[in-house]
Structure 1
Protein backbone atom coordinates (compact mmCIF):
# COMPACT_ATOMS: atom_id res chain seq x y z
CA UNK A 1 0.00 0.00 0.00
CA UNK A 2 1.36 3.43 -0.94
CA UNK A 3 2.02 5.71 2.02
CA UNK A 4 -0.43 8.66 1.81
CA UNK A 5 1.01 12.15 1.59
CA UNK A 6 -2.10 13.89 2.93
CA UNK A 7 -3.66 13.39 6.36
CA UNK A 8 -7.15 11.99 6.70
CA UNK A 9 -9.60 13.02 9.40
CA UNK A 10 -10.83 9.43 9.55
CA UNK A 11 -7.31 8.12 10.20
CA UNK A 12 -6.57 10.94 12.67
CA UNK A 13 -9.59 9.84 14.66
CA UNK A 14 -8.38 6.25 14.44
CA UNK A 15 -5.10 7.45 15.98
CA UNK A 16 -6.92 9.26 18.79
CA UNK A 17 -9.01 6.16 19.45
CA UNK A 18 -5.91 4.02 19.78
CA UNK A 19 -6.37 2.19 16.48
CA UNK A 20 -3.77 0.94 14.03
CA UNK A 21 -5.09 2.19 10.68
CA UNK A 22 -3.20 5.48 10.40
CA UNK A 23 0.12 6.76 9.05
CA UNK A 24 2.82 9.21 10.17
CA UNK A 25 1.19 12.01 8.17
CA UNK A 26 -2.01 11.49 10.17
CA UNK A 27 -0.16 11.46 13.49
CA UNK A 28 1.62 14.68 12.55
CA UNK A 29 -1.68 16.37 11.70
CA UNK A 30 -3.26 15.09 14.90
CA UNK A 31 -0.36 16.42 16.97
CA UNK A 32 -0.59 19.80 15.23
CA UNK A 33 -4.28 20.03 16.07
CA UNK A 34 -3.56 19.10 19.67
CA UNK A 35 -0.99 21.90 19.85
CA UNK A 36 -3.76 24.32 18.86
CA UNK A 37 -6.51 22.82 21.01
CA UNK A 38 -5.41 20.26 23.56
CA UNK A 39 -5.75 16.51 24.05
CA UNK A 40 -8.27 15.13 21.58
CA UNK A 41 -8.22 11.44 22.48
CA UNK A 42 -10.57 11.78 25.49
CA UNK A 43 -13.06 13.81 23.43
CA UNK A 44 -13.19 11.35 20.54
CA UNK A 45 -13.24 8.34 22.83
CA UNK A 46 -16.26 9.88 24.55
CA UNK A 47 -17.93 10.37 21.17
CA UNK A 48 -17.17 6.76 20.17
CA UNK A 49 -18.54 5.56 23.52
CA UNK A 50 -21.75 7.51 22.80
CA UNK A 51 -21.96 5.77 19.43
CA UNK A 52 -21.73 2.41 21.17
CA UNK A 53 -24.41 3.21 23.72
CA UNK A 54 -26.70 4.67 21.07
CA UNK A 55 -26.32 1.71 18.72
CA UNK A 56 -26.92 -0.79 21.50
CA UNK A 57 -30.03 1.13 22.55
CA UNK A 58 -31.32 1.12 18.97
CA UNK A 59 -30.59 -2.59 18.59
CA UNK A 60 -32.49 -3.25 21.82
CA UNK A 61 -35.66 -1.98 20.10
CA UNK A 62 -35.36 -4.83 17.57
CA UNK A 63 -33.50 -2.96 14.83
CA UNK A 64 -30.95 -5.25 13.16
CA UNK A 65 -29.83 -3.22 10.13
CA UNK A 66 -27.78 0.00 10.18
CA UNK A 67 -26.77 2.53 7.54
CA UNK A 68 -23.76 4.63 8.59
CA UNK A 69 -22.86 7.91 6.89
CA UNK A 70 -19.41 9.48 7.20
CA UNK A 71 -18.28 6.19 8.67
CA UNK A 72 -14.52 6.71 8.73
CA UNK A 73 -12.49 3.68 9.80
CA UNK A 74 -14.79 0.75 10.73
CA UNK A 75 -12.93 -0.34 13.87
CA UNK A 76 -12.41 0.64 17.52
CA UNK A 77 -15.99 0.13 18.65
CA UNK A 78 -17.72 1.03 15.42
CA UNK A 79 -21.24 -0.17 14.69
CA UNK A 80 -20.74 -3.80 13.65
CA UNK A 81 -18.48 -4.36 16.65
CA UNK A 82 -20.98 -3.12 19.23
CA UNK A 83 -24.02 -4.69 17.51
CA UNK A 84 -22.57 -8.03 16.33
CA UNK A 85 -25.99 -9.50 15.53
CA UNK A 86 -26.85 -6.66 13.15
CA UNK A 87 -25.89 -6.07 9.54
CA UNK A 88 -24.21 -2.77 8.72
CA UNK A 89 -23.52 -0.73 5.60
CA UNK A 90 -20.77 1.83 6.18
CA UNK A 91 -20.55 4.71 3.70
CA UNK A 92 -18.26 7.66 3.12
CA UNK A 93 -17.43 10.06 0.31
CA UNK A 94 -13.63 9.78 0.52
CA UNK A 95 -12.42 7.07 -1.87
CA UNK A 96 -9.26 6.39 0.14
CA UNK A 97 -11.28 5.83 3.31
CA UNK A 98 -13.72 3.62 1.41
CA UNK A 99 -10.91 1.42 0.09
CA UNK A 100 -9.44 1.13 3.59
CA UNK A 101 -12.82 0.19 4.99
CA UNK A 102 -13.34 -2.41 2.30
CA UNK A 103 -9.96 -3.98 3.09
CA UNK A 104 -10.76 -4.12 6.80
CA UNK A 105 -14.17 -5.70 6.20
CA UNK A 106 -13.10 -8.06 3.41
CA UNK A 107 -14.71 -11.43 3.99
CA UNK A 108 -17.37 -10.14 6.39
CA UNK A 109 -20.89 -11.27 5.60
CA UNK A 110 -22.45 -8.81 8.08
CA UNK A 111 -20.77 -5.51 7.23
CA UNK A 112 -19.94 -3.78 3.97
CA UNK A 113 -18.49 -0.45 2.86
CA UNK A 114 -19.38 1.71 -0.14
CA UNK A 115 -19.80 5.25 -1.41
CA UNK A 116 -22.59 7.27 0.10
CA UNK A 117 -23.25 11.01 0.33
CA UNK A 118 -25.53 11.69 3.29
CA UNK A 119 -27.04 14.68 1.49
CA UNK A 120 -28.19 12.46 -1.40
CA UNK A 121 -29.51 9.05 -0.35
CA UNK A 122 -29.64 8.12 -4.03
CA UNK A 123 -25.85 7.88 -4.12
CA UNK A 124 -25.87 4.74 -1.97
CA UNK A 125 -25.50 1.57 -4.06
CA UNK A 126 -28.96 -0.10 -4.02
CA UNK A 127 -27.40 -3.57 -4.14
CA UNK A 128 -25.30 -2.88 -1.04
CA UNK A 129 -28.26 -1.28 0.70
CA UNK A 130 -30.43 -4.31 -0.05
CA UNK A 131 -27.73 -6.70 1.12
CA UNK A 132 -26.67 -5.03 4.36
CA UNK A 133 -29.79 -3.07 5.36
CA UNK A 134 -32.53 -5.48 4.28
CA UNK A 135 -36.02 -4.08 4.40
CA UNK A 136 -34.85 -0.50 3.87
CA UNK A 137 -37.97 1.64 3.63
CA UNK A 138 -40.21 -1.24 4.77
CA UNK A 139 -38.97 -2.10 8.27
CA UNK A 140 -37.25 -0.09 11.01
CA UNK A 141 -33.54 0.55 10.60
CA UNK A 142 -30.84 2.53 12.36
CA UNK A 143 -29.19 5.50 10.65
CA UNK A 144 -25.89 6.76 12.09
CA UNK A 145 -25.13 10.40 11.28
CA UNK A 146 -22.07 11.34 13.33
CA UNK A 147 -19.44 13.91 12.44
CA UNK A 148 -21.49 15.37 9.60
CA UNK A 149 -23.81 18.07 10.96
CA UNK A 150 -20.91 20.45 11.57
CA UNK A 151 -20.08 20.46 7.86
CA UNK A 152 -23.59 21.19 6.58
CA UNK A 153 -25.34 24.55 6.67
CA UNK A 154 -28.69 24.72 8.42
CA UNK A 155 -30.80 24.43 5.28
CA UNK A 156 -28.83 21.49 3.88
CA UNK A 157 -28.82 19.68 7.21
CA UNK A 158 -32.56 20.15 7.74
CA UNK A 159 -33.32 19.00 4.18
CA UNK A 160 -31.03 15.98 4.50
CA UNK A 161 -32.55 14.84 7.78
CA UNK A 162 -36.06 15.31 6.38
CA UNK A 163 -35.23 13.24 3.30
CA UNK A 164 -33.85 10.48 5.52
CA UNK A 165 -37.01 10.64 7.63
CA UNK A 166 -39.10 10.14 4.50
CA UNK A 167 -36.89 7.31 3.23
CA UNK A 168 -36.94 5.11 6.33
CA UNK A 169 -39.82 3.09 7.74
CA UNK A 170 -41.72 4.18 10.85
CA UNK A 171 -39.96 3.02 13.99
CA UNK A 172 -36.52 3.76 12.53
CA UNK A 173 -33.90 5.50 14.65
CA UNK A 174 -31.31 8.19 13.97
CA UNK A 175 -28.10 8.60 16.01
CA UNK A 176 -26.72 12.11 15.52
CA UNK A 177 -24.25 14.53 17.02
CA UNK A 178 -23.77 18.29 16.85
CA UNK A 179 -20.64 20.38 17.44
CA UNK A 180 -20.97 23.00 20.15
CA UNK A 181 -19.12 26.33 20.20
CA UNK A 182 -16.21 24.74 22.10
CA UNK A 183 -13.61 25.66 19.46
CA UNK A 184 -14.56 29.36 19.53
CA UNK A 185 -11.99 29.80 22.29
CA UNK A 186 -9.29 28.19 20.14
CA UNK A 187 -9.02 30.27 16.94
CA UNK A 188 -5.99 28.41 15.58
CA UNK A 189 -7.74 25.05 15.94
CA UNK A 190 -10.94 26.51 14.52
CA UNK A 191 -9.05 27.72 11.45
CA UNK A 192 -7.77 24.17 10.90
CA UNK A 193 -11.34 22.90 10.59
CA UNK A 194 -11.84 24.83 7.34
CA UNK A 195 -14.49 27.27 6.14
CA UNK A 196 -17.28 24.69 5.98
CA UNK A 197 -17.11 23.95 9.72
CA UNK A 198 -20.12 25.19 11.66
CA UNK A 199 -20.41 25.47 15.39
CA UNK A 200 -23.88 25.86 16.86
CA UNK A 201 -25.32 26.75 20.27
CA UNK A 202 -27.22 23.89 21.89
CA UNK A 203 -30.52 25.77 21.52
CA UNK A 204 -30.19 25.43 17.74
CA UNK A 205 -29.88 21.64 17.70
CA UNK A 206 -33.47 20.57 18.30
CA UNK A 207 -35.15 22.54 15.49
CA UNK A 208 -32.74 21.07 12.94
CA UNK A 209 -34.10 17.57 13.60
CA UNK A 210 -37.40 18.52 12.01
CA UNK A 211 -39.84 15.60 12.18
CA UNK A 212 -37.38 13.32 13.98
CA UNK A 213 -38.40 13.03 17.62
CA UNK A 214 -35.58 12.71 20.19
CA UNK A 215 -35.98 10.00 22.80
CA UNK A 216 -36.77 11.26 26.27
CA UNK A 217 -33.02 11.47 26.89
CA UNK A 218 -33.04 14.64 24.80
CA UNK A 219 -30.06 16.25 23.05
CA UNK A 220 -27.31 16.33 25.65
CA UNK A 221 -23.52 16.29 25.96
CA UNK A 222 -22.47 12.90 24.63
CA UNK A 223 -21.06 11.79 27.96
CA UNK A 224 -24.47 12.34 29.55
CA UNK A 225 -26.52 10.32 27.07
CA UNK A 226 -27.38 7.18 29.08
CA UNK A 227 -23.98 7.05 30.77
CA UNK A 228 -22.80 3.74 32.13
CA UNK A 229 -21.68 4.91 35.54
CA UNK A 230 -20.43 8.39 36.28
CA UNK A 231 -20.13 10.54 33.12
CA UNK A 232 -16.58 11.25 31.99
CA UNK A 233 -15.23 14.75 32.49
CA UNK A 234 -14.30 15.91 28.99
CA UNK A 235 -14.73 19.22 27.16
CA UNK A 236 -18.31 19.82 26.03
CA UNK A 237 -17.48 19.58 22.33
CA UNK A 238 -20.31 17.33 21.14
CA UNK A 239 -23.97 16.94 21.97
CA UNK A 240 -25.74 13.79 20.86
CA UNK A 241 -29.18 12.29 20.54
CA UNK A 242 -31.12 9.32 19.31
CA UNK A 243 -34.28 10.35 17.48
CA UNK A 244 -37.15 8.27 16.14
CA UNK A 245 -39.44 8.30 13.15
CA UNK A 246 -42.76 7.91 14.87
CA UNK A 247 -45.06 4.99 14.17
CA UNK A 248 -48.38 6.20 12.84
Structure 2
Protein backbone atom coordinates (compact mmCIF):
# COMPACT_ATOMS: atom_id res chain seq x y z
CA UNK A 1 0.00 0.00 0.00
CA UNK A 2 2.95 2.31 0.47
CA UNK A 3 3.35 4.76 3.31
CA UNK A 4 1.56 8.04 2.53
CA UNK A 5 2.86 10.92 4.65
CA UNK A 6 -0.54 12.65 4.82
CA UNK A 7 -3.52 11.38 6.78
CA UNK A 8 -6.62 10.27 4.92
CA UNK A 9 -10.15 10.89 6.14
CA UNK A 10 -11.12 7.49 4.74
CA UNK A 11 -8.43 5.73 6.76
CA UNK A 12 -9.19 7.83 9.87
CA UNK A 13 -12.79 6.64 9.66
CA UNK A 14 -11.53 3.07 9.27
CA UNK A 15 -9.58 3.58 12.50
CA UNK A 16 -12.66 4.92 14.30
CA UNK A 17 -14.69 1.97 13.03
CA UNK A 18 -12.15 -0.50 14.39
CA UNK A 19 -10.78 -1.54 11.01
CA UNK A 20 -7.27 -2.57 10.04
CA UNK A 21 -6.65 -0.44 6.94
CA UNK A 22 -5.06 2.68 8.38
CA UNK A 23 -1.58 3.96 9.15
CA UNK A 24 0.15 5.67 12.09
CA UNK A 25 -0.26 9.05 10.37
CA UNK A 26 -4.04 8.47 10.33
CA UNK A 27 -4.14 7.49 13.99
CA UNK A 28 -2.19 10.63 14.89
CA UNK A 29 -4.61 12.82 12.93
CA UNK A 30 -7.63 11.06 14.42
CA UNK A 31 -6.24 11.53 17.93
CA UNK A 32 -5.60 15.23 17.29
CA UNK A 33 -9.15 15.70 16.04
CA UNK A 34 -10.57 13.95 19.09
CA UNK A 35 -8.54 16.22 21.37
CA UNK A 36 -10.24 19.18 19.69
CA UNK A 37 -13.73 17.66 19.51
CA UNK A 38 -14.21 14.54 21.59
CA UNK A 39 -14.71 10.82 20.91
CA UNK A 40 -15.49 10.22 17.23
CA UNK A 41 -15.85 6.45 17.13
CA UNK A 42 -19.47 6.37 18.41
CA UNK A 43 -20.51 9.06 15.91
CA UNK A 44 -18.97 7.32 12.91
CA UNK A 45 -20.24 3.94 14.00
CA UNK A 46 -23.75 5.37 13.98
CA UNK A 47 -23.16 6.80 10.52
CA UNK A 48 -21.95 3.40 9.29
CA UNK A 49 -24.94 1.72 10.95
CA UNK A 50 -27.22 4.15 9.09
CA UNK A 51 -25.50 3.13 5.86
CA UNK A 52 -26.22 -0.50 6.64
CA UNK A 53 -29.90 0.10 7.38
CA UNK A 54 -30.31 2.26 4.26
CA UNK A 55 -28.63 -0.34 2.05
CA UNK A 56 -30.82 -3.09 3.46
CA UNK A 57 -33.87 -0.93 2.81
CA UNK A 58 -32.77 -0.39 -0.79
CA UNK A 59 -32.10 -4.09 -1.31
CA UNK A 60 -35.52 -4.90 0.14
CA UNK A 61 -37.01 -3.01 -2.82
CA UNK A 62 -35.42 -5.53 -5.17
CA UNK A 63 -32.43 -3.35 -6.07
CA UNK A 64 -29.30 -5.41 -6.71
CA UNK A 65 -26.84 -2.85 -8.09
CA UNK A 66 -25.18 0.00 -6.17
CA UNK A 67 -23.06 2.98 -7.17
CA UNK A 68 -21.11 4.45 -4.25
CA UNK A 69 -19.48 7.89 -4.31
CA UNK A 70 -16.77 8.93 -1.86
CA UNK A 71 -16.53 5.29 -0.90
CA UNK A 72 -13.44 5.41 1.32
CA UNK A 73 -12.25 2.06 2.70
CA UNK A 74 -14.65 -0.67 1.51
CA UNK A 75 -14.82 -2.67 4.75
CA UNK A 76 -16.37 -2.56 8.23
CA UNK A 77 -19.97 -2.95 7.09
CA UNK A 78 -19.70 -1.16 3.78
CA UNK A 79 -22.19 -1.70 0.98
CA UNK A 80 -21.06 -5.01 -0.51
CA UNK A 81 -20.83 -6.56 2.95
CA UNK A 82 -24.42 -5.55 3.75
CA UNK A 83 -25.98 -6.34 0.35
CA UNK A 84 -24.17 -9.63 -0.06
CA UNK A 85 -25.99 -10.60 -3.27
CA UNK A 86 -25.64 -7.25 -5.03
CA UNK A 87 -23.06 -5.91 -7.43
CA UNK A 88 -21.33 -2.74 -6.25
CA UNK A 89 -19.11 -0.11 -7.83
CA UNK A 90 -17.19 1.93 -5.27
CA UNK A 91 -15.73 5.23 -6.47
CA UNK A 92 -13.50 7.88 -4.98
CA UNK A 93 -11.24 10.69 -6.17
CA UNK A 94 -8.22 9.93 -4.00
CA UNK A 95 -5.73 7.68 -5.86
CA UNK A 96 -4.29 6.20 -2.65
CA UNK A 97 -7.75 5.27 -1.39
CA UNK A 98 -8.67 3.78 -4.77
CA UNK A 99 -5.55 1.60 -4.80
CA UNK A 100 -6.25 0.46 -1.24
CA UNK A 101 -9.83 -0.39 -2.16
CA UNK A 102 -8.74 -2.29 -5.24
CA UNK A 103 -6.28 -4.29 -3.15
CA UNK A 104 -8.92 -5.15 -0.56
CA UNK A 105 -11.42 -6.21 -3.23
CA UNK A 106 -8.98 -8.03 -5.51
CA UNK A 107 -10.50 -11.24 -6.78
CA UNK A 108 -14.13 -10.23 -6.30
CA UNK A 109 -16.29 -10.69 -9.38
CA UNK A 110 -19.21 -8.61 -8.08
CA UNK A 111 -17.48 -5.58 -6.56
CA UNK A 112 -15.26 -3.01 -8.26
CA UNK A 113 -13.43 0.15 -7.24
CA UNK A 114 -12.44 2.98 -9.57
CA UNK A 115 -12.16 6.73 -10.02
CA UNK A 116 -15.38 8.69 -9.87
CA UNK A 117 -16.14 12.33 -9.12
CA UNK A 118 -19.68 12.66 -7.79
CA UNK A 119 -20.00 16.09 -9.37
CA UNK A 120 -19.24 14.68 -12.83
CA UNK A 121 -20.75 11.26 -13.55
CA UNK A 122 -18.82 11.20 -16.83
CA UNK A 123 -15.58 10.63 -14.91
CA UNK A 124 -16.63 7.05 -14.12
CA UNK A 125 -15.18 4.39 -16.41
CA UNK A 126 -18.19 3.26 -18.52
CA UNK A 127 -16.89 -0.31 -18.63
CA UNK A 128 -16.78 -0.48 -14.83
CA UNK A 129 -20.18 1.18 -14.52
CA UNK A 130 -21.86 -1.27 -16.89
CA UNK A 131 -20.11 -4.26 -15.34
CA UNK A 132 -20.87 -3.54 -11.70
CA UNK A 133 -24.08 -1.47 -12.02
CA UNK A 134 -25.50 -3.18 -15.09
CA UNK A 135 -28.94 -1.61 -14.79
CA UNK A 136 -27.66 1.97 -14.64
CA UNK A 137 -30.10 4.26 -16.44
CA UNK A 138 -32.49 1.42 -17.29
CA UNK A 139 -33.71 -0.04 -14.00
CA UNK A 140 -33.67 1.06 -10.36
CA UNK A 141 -30.29 1.15 -8.64
CA UNK A 142 -28.98 2.30 -5.27
CA UNK A 143 -26.83 5.41 -5.10
CA UNK A 144 -24.80 6.00 -1.94
CA UNK A 145 -23.73 9.61 -1.35
CA UNK A 146 -22.28 9.79 2.16
CA UNK A 147 -19.60 12.12 3.49
CA UNK A 148 -19.69 14.41 0.45
CA UNK A 149 -22.42 17.02 0.89
CA UNK A 150 -20.39 18.94 3.48
CA UNK A 151 -17.64 19.57 0.92
CA UNK A 152 -19.87 20.93 -1.85
CA UNK A 153 -21.47 24.36 -1.98
CA UNK A 154 -25.22 24.58 -2.36
CA UNK A 155 -25.23 25.21 -6.12
CA UNK A 156 -22.80 22.37 -6.85
CA UNK A 157 -24.67 19.98 -4.57
CA UNK A 158 -28.04 20.77 -6.14
CA UNK A 159 -26.63 20.43 -9.66
CA UNK A 160 -25.01 17.11 -8.72
CA UNK A 161 -28.23 15.69 -7.30
CA UNK A 162 -30.13 16.89 -10.37
CA UNK A 163 -27.66 15.21 -12.71
CA UNK A 164 -27.86 11.98 -10.73
CA UNK A 165 -31.64 12.18 -10.87
CA UNK A 166 -31.58 12.60 -14.64
CA UNK A 167 -29.11 9.73 -15.12
CA UNK A 168 -30.73 7.18 -12.81
CA UNK A 169 -33.80 5.17 -13.74
CA UNK A 170 -37.16 5.85 -12.05
CA UNK A 171 -37.42 3.98 -8.77
CA UNK A 172 -33.74 4.41 -7.96
CA UNK A 173 -32.92 5.24 -4.35
CA UNK A 174 -30.38 7.68 -2.94
CA UNK A 175 -28.82 7.28 0.51
CA UNK A 176 -27.43 10.63 1.62
CA UNK A 177 -26.15 12.41 4.70
CA UNK A 178 -25.66 16.04 5.67
CA UNK A 179 -23.40 17.61 8.31
CA UNK A 180 -25.12 19.72 10.93
CA UNK A 181 -23.64 22.69 12.77
CA UNK A 182 -22.28 20.36 15.45
CA UNK A 183 -18.70 21.63 15.07
CA UNK A 184 -19.68 25.29 15.44
CA UNK A 185 -18.83 25.19 19.14
CA UNK A 186 -15.55 23.35 18.54
CA UNK A 187 -13.49 25.91 16.58
CA UNK A 188 -10.25 23.93 16.68
CA UNK A 189 -11.92 20.85 15.26
CA UNK A 190 -13.77 22.96 12.70
CA UNK A 191 -10.50 24.47 11.52
CA UNK A 192 -9.12 20.99 10.92
CA UNK A 193 -11.91 20.29 8.43
CA UNK A 194 -10.50 22.80 5.96
CA UNK A 195 -11.96 25.80 4.14
CA UNK A 196 -14.36 23.84 1.93
CA UNK A 197 -16.23 22.23 4.83
CA UNK A 198 -19.82 23.44 5.06
CA UNK A 199 -22.08 23.06 8.05
CA UNK A 200 -25.80 23.49 7.45
CA UNK A 201 -28.88 23.78 9.69
CA UNK A 202 -31.33 20.88 9.31
CA UNK A 203 -33.95 23.15 7.72
CA UNK A 204 -31.62 23.61 4.75
CA UNK A 205 -31.29 19.90 3.92
CA UNK A 206 -34.54 19.05 2.10
CA UNK A 207 -34.37 21.84 -0.52
CA UNK A 208 -30.91 20.67 -1.57
CA UNK A 209 -32.29 17.30 -2.74
CA UNK A 210 -34.24 18.93 -5.55
CA UNK A 211 -36.41 16.34 -7.33
CA UNK A 212 -35.28 13.46 -5.10
CA UNK A 213 -38.16 12.77 -2.69
CA UNK A 214 -37.28 11.60 0.84
CA UNK A 215 -39.16 8.56 2.08
CA UNK A 216 -41.73 8.99 4.83
CA UNK A 217 -38.88 8.62 7.36
CA UNK A 218 -37.79 12.16 6.46
CA UNK A 219 -34.33 13.64 6.94
CA UNK A 220 -33.43 12.88 10.54
CA UNK A 221 -30.38 12.29 12.75
CA UNK A 222 -28.79 9.09 11.46
CA UNK A 223 -29.21 7.29 14.79
CA UNK A 224 -32.98 7.85 14.51
CA UNK A 225 -33.43 6.67 10.93
CA UNK A 226 -35.23 3.31 11.24
CA UNK A 227 -33.21 2.40 14.33
CA UNK A 228 -32.73 -1.19 15.41
CA UNK A 229 -34.09 -0.76 18.91
CA UNK A 230 -33.48 2.30 21.07
CA UNK A 231 -31.47 4.96 19.16
CA UNK A 232 -27.93 5.46 20.38
CA UNK A 233 -27.21 8.62 22.35
CA UNK A 234 -24.65 10.41 20.19
CA UNK A 235 -24.32 14.02 19.03
CA UNK A 236 -26.53 14.79 16.04
CA UNK A 237 -23.55 15.52 13.79
CA UNK A 238 -25.10 13.83 10.76
CA UNK A 239 -28.63 13.75 9.39
CA UNK A 240 -29.52 11.07 6.89
CA UNK A 241 -32.23 10.17 4.43
CA UNK A 242 -33.28 7.73 1.78
CA UNK A 243 -34.73 9.51 -1.25
CA UNK A 244 -36.55 8.16 -4.29
CA UNK A 245 -36.20 9.02 -7.97
CA UNK A 246 -39.74 9.53 -9.25
CA UNK A 247 -41.31 8.78 -12.61
CA UNK A 248 -41.03 12.25 -14.13
TM-score (norm 2): 0.99
Q: Measure, in 2, the Cα distance between the counterparts of 1:115 and 1:49.
A: 25
Q: Measure, in 1, the Cα distance between the counterparts of 2:129 and 2:140.
A: 14
Helix, strand or coil at the partner of 2:233:
coil
* Residue of structure 1 in register with 2:246 after alignment: 246
* Residue of structure 1 in register with 2:85 after alignment: 85
Query: Residues 173-184 of structure 1: matches in 2 within 5 Å?
Result: 173-184=173-184
- CA deviations on 1:15-64 (whole Å, 9 max, x unpaired) are 00000000100000000000000000000000000000000000000000
Q: Measure, in 1, the Cα distance between the counterparts of 2:85 and 2:135.
A: 16
* Residue of structure 2 in register with 1:137 after alignment: 137
Q: Measure, in 2, the Cα distance between the counterparts of 1:6 and 1:200.
A: 28
The alpha carbon displacement at 1:229 in A equals 0.2
* Residue of structure 2 in register with 1:186 after alignment: 186
Helix, strand or coil at the partner of 1:246:
coil
Helix, strand or coil at the partner of 1:84:
coil
* Residue of structure 1 in register with 2:101 after alignment: 101
Query: Residues 185-224 of structure 1: matches in 2 within 5 Å?
Result: 185-224=185-224
Aligned residues: 248
Query: Residues 90-169 of structure 1: matches in 2 within 5 Å?
Result: 90-169=90-169
Helix, strand or coil at the partner of 1:103:
helix
RMSD (CA atoms): 0.6
TM-score (norm 1): 0.99
Gaps of 5+ in 2: none
Q: Measure, in 2, the Cα distance between the counterparts of 1:211 and 1:55.
A: 21
Q: Measure, in 1, the Cα distance between the counterparts of 2:110 and 2:131.
A: 9
Q: Measure, in 1, the Cα distance between the counterparts of 2:72 and 2:145.
A: 12
The alpha carbon displacement at 1:4 in A equals 1.7
Q: Measure, in 1, the Cα distance between the counterparts of 2:150 and 2:135.
A: 30
Q: Measure, in 1, the Cα distance between the counterparts of 2:196 and 2:115.
A: 21
* Residue of structure 2 in register with 1:4 after alignment: 4
Q: Measure, in 2, the Cα distance between the counterparts of 1:203 and 1:87.
A: 35
Query: Residues 222-237 of structure 1: matches in 2 within 5 Å?
Result: 222-237=222-237
Helix, strand or coil at the partner of 1:164:
helix
Q: Measure, in 2, the Cα distance between the counterparts of 1:206 and 1:124.
A: 27
**Runs of 4+ that moved beyond 3 A:** none
Helix, strand or coil at the partner of 2:144:
strand
The alpha carbon displacement at 1:2 in A equals 2.4
